[in-house]
Structure 1
Amino acid sequence: MSAKGGPGRIVLGIETSCDETGAGLVRLEPDGSMRLLADSVASSVEQHARFGGVVPEIASRAHLEAMEPTVRRALDEAGLSLSDVDAVAVTAGPGLAGALMVGVSAAKAYAAALNVPLYGVNHLLGHVAVDVLEHGPLPPRCLAMLVSGGHTQLLSVSGIAGEVTEIGSTIDDAAGEAYDKVARILELPYPGGPPIDRMAREGDPNAIAFPRGLTGPRDAKFDFSFSGLKTAVARWVEQTREAGMQLPIADIAASFQEAVADVLTRKAVLAAAELGLDTMVLSGGVAANSRISALAKERCSEAGITLRVPRPRLCTDNGAMIAAVGAHVMATELDPSPLGISAVPGLPVDTAVVR
């Protein structure tokens, strides 16, 4: 038992894979359950907005400046001190190399100073593990759909620290990346997800028949492609402007969003059915999109699949999800990472802990 306000072990999670500096605290209880104690995030998104995308050097510098204050806020929120921490988990990959290095270096320093285990864990698994903090333990097997600015994947999950198999992924743009590019075409703010979602509520999703990528009979059944959809939007906008017509922004946004939501949910439900999985976790920043989550709920209900979606704050990158992976790894008694670990920008999803 550790004196951390009760029984259990406290895991500090650090996330710096992209443009958000996250620090989270999770308590791993003696019975294996987990409790979220704090979740603090500092975002540098405003610094990237004028460039229309994340600038790696700016992100790395922002992480360096935000690290200590973000960890301090998390500790204050939980009513804990650094001496209460029993283990440190950090995103070791995948992500931007420089950004990851800031987080890994900080985690090494905290772990060494506190003389506690260090776990360099997988960012993608964090998006699955975070749901446990809200909805309790996952079933022995489930399907996870991760949808974010950098990733669009379907995963078969048999334990966070166990077997994770990629069923399908995007062959070009991730869904979130497509949102950003279409927002730029429509002259909407960056990041593109929230403004397109808001605008789409005022439009007709059936106004424009945008293509559904990789949905033909000979296409890869569970892979995704959104580059063609983005190009179709750009061409439609260009032709409309050349014709001297006013752009129906709301209808374009709604039709684009419907195409993304249709493909994502259709393939996810099909994968779950074919694999015999009756639970699906939908996570990642784009999972907060109102139409994607609503259509996923509708189609999962029709197929008899239980849909689990973390609240929006936990869908986006945060330290709590990394602490949750660390807690899972501790619960399964896997060996910690050595202090000499490096960041792994291309870390595969089937690697839970870096060694």
Structure 2
Amino acid sequence: MVAPEVVGTATTFASATSGATIVLDKPTGLIDGDMLVAALRTMGSTSPSDFALSGWTRRGYAFAPNDSAGRVTGLYTHPVSSAASEPATYTFTKSVADARRVGAMFIVRGVDLANPVAGNSVGWDATPTPRIQLNAFAVDTTDAALLLYAWGNEVTSPNATAPTIIPGAEIALVPSSSGTGATRSVVWVGWESIAASSSGNKSLTWTNVNGPAATGVVLRGLNVVSRTGDGSVSVVGSATRALAVAVAASGGVSVSGSASATVTVSRAADGAVSVSGAAAVAVAVSRAADGGVTVVGAAVAVVGVAVAAPGAVTVGAVASVALAVAVEAVGSVLVVGTAVVQGPSFPDVLTLAGGVDQYTLDGSVEVLTLEVR
């Protein structure tokens, strides 16, 4: 499994005037299958309700009403099924106004949108100050995953806005105002990849701490690969970047390609390989041993299939509709679909054991005659 990744640049919101909303622009580069994540913070210690926006879900620790300790601090996620249908801005609203509000929004790519969360944080520890520790929490997978975390603080004058020690990589640091002359609501958000059953303790340090909070979530990736035994492999995933699978065993199979939709590759037994999926870019399948090869899919770019064995066949095609290519037996080739098929040309003269062989090519029957030598 490949861990999700943070892509592009976060958009931010900062206000030092009273209001009950945080408005964030859509980050650039959003595509179908992405996940949007927002990190929000307000100074309010008497807020009976959380931020709300249709289609968004709070992650990490649960909202606590009227929380004077952690104020309103949270991570929120939104799956993107159609990037073209997403609005230009997102407005998060709560029931009461606060004097200071900050937020950041960014894109995470490669999340399993059907089952995105592998773990949510449950609390933090602000002692000894000025360190704020995000307490370790359980993760339900040991596959590669993405840990996102956010810290909130009310930084008083004349202390610096930026933390002095951070975990992982920074995505955004957003204060409600610039300079050090006034108290600022601040949110810091970052990430790291993990592959463990626990997030581990994560700490961030400011020069002073007031109303601190920390929250985190682990997001599950795509491309689950399983191999049940020698000569058997299956790959199922919805990939938005390069996907590569290889089985170095008897009747070895190698598959590589970039897909924008589900691609399934399976090899159930020695001598049988199947690949199916809707691919928006090149997909190549090869089997370097005698046996059956089947490729099924809707392709808008090059699809290549090769069997390097007796009855060897090479098919390259540009298809705009379903294309099925099967090698059913040694020397037998079947092509189904609307495609431009390019392969090795047949010689004018073949030396055969006797009789007449017929080959069906492009819907017509070609008769090959013997020449005695």
**TM-score if structure 2 supplies the norm length?**
0.21
Whose strand proportion is higher, 1 or 2? 2
Higher-Rg structure is: 2
Higher relative contact order (CA 8 A, sep 6+): 1
